[in-house]
Amino acid sequence: MLNLLHVALPPARRLLGGIWDLTHQTLMMVGLFVVAGGAYLFFRPDAVSMLDRGLTQWVLARKTAAEELQALAQQPGDVLMPAAQAAPQPALPTLDARQRVVSDWLARRYSIAPNAMAQLVSAAWSVGREQRLDPLLILAVMAVESSFNPYAQSSVGATGLMQVMAGVHRDKFAPFGGPQASIDPLANLRVGAVVLKDAIARGGSVRTGLRYYVGATSAASEGGYADKVLAEEAQLQRVAALAAKVQAKRPTKAAATQTARGAASAATART
């Protein structure tokens, strides 16, 4: 037992000695910093006054901020509401039955807020008329490119709903404030539609135009992009056709009025 103690004591002593040396050196360094700081402040009295002013200003700023927060917390909620209500709210677009069905379907499929999707669908129809493009094709490109995320960015730098290369198309973004406008949904949609129209015109067909739009040099290198967009467009066309069928089955107001009048006339004749 004594032999074991003799064997274990030297390493323990060395460990305790190392801890003591480290503590001693640390305290010496702290002492040196304190002495150096005291000497600096002794020979630089202006530094003392600057430090005092800084601490005083910091304490006053903290006190003022705390008082402002306390006063704000004590205000009733109806006092704060007018500021929130004053924020401009975007007007909801007026969609026809076909556009409404497409908007609702896309909002559910891509988990987008219905009001936001309604804005995009309305804009797609408006831009489609301007550029003579099928609005469903524009929506299909947005779906495949970004899943309707206006802040999406690809590995090569394409941004926005239609994944437009803002640096390449600086001239087209100029009317909207420059390339930084590429994350603005409506600006990106408008520029993307122009780029898509030019690509289709160069390619001679929608399929080839889609290949040019995605920057593929051949059908083999596009990775099935055109097929994805055209399949999405076809799906949207089927969804829009459902709205047309439902609308056709509903009697128009004029027809319903005429039927009611006819029924009333027949009843009068029988009496």
Q: What is the pLDDT of residue 80?
A: 47
Q: Is a pLDDT exceeding 50 seen at residue 261?
A: yes
Residue bearing the bigger pLDDT, 265 or 235:
235
Q: What is the pLDDT of residue 2?
A: 47
Nearest Cα residue to 95 out of 128, 120, 129, 118: 118
Averaged pLDDT score across all residues of the chain = 81
Least confident piece of the model among 31-35, 189-193, 206-210, 247-251: 247-251
Q: Is a pLDDT exceeding 60 seen at residue 205?
A: yes
Taking the C-alpha atoms of residue 63 and residue 1, their distance in angstroms, rounded to an integer, is: 66
Q: What is the pLDDT of residue 84?
A: 46
Q: What is the pLDDT of residue 262?
A: 57
What average pLDDT does range 108-122 have in this prediction?
96
Q: What is the pLDDT of residue 165?
A: 95
Q: What is the pLDDT of residue 93?
A: 83
What average pLDDT does range 126-133 have in this prediction?
96
Residue bearing the bigger pLDDT, 260 or 132:
132
Q: Is a pLDDT exceeding 80 seen at residue 18?
A: no
Least confident piece of the model among 9-18, 182-191, 196-205, 215-224: 9-18
Least confident piece of the model among 54-68, 210-224, 255-269: 255-269
Q: What is the pLDDT of residue 85?
A: 54
Q: Is a pLDDT exceeding 60 seen at residue 99?
A: yes
Q: Which residues contact 159 (CB under 8 A, 6 or more apart)?
A: 151, 152, 153, 166, 182, 183, 188
- What residue type is assigned to position 184 of the chain? D
Q: What is the pLDDT of residue 27?
A: 83
Residue 158, Cβ neighbours under 10 Å: how many?
A: 21
Taking the C-alpha atoms of residue 212 and residue 196, their distance in angstroms, rounded to an integer, is: 9
Q: Is a pLDDT exceeding 60 seen at residue 254?
A: no
176 close to 187: Cβ distance less than 8 angstroms: yes
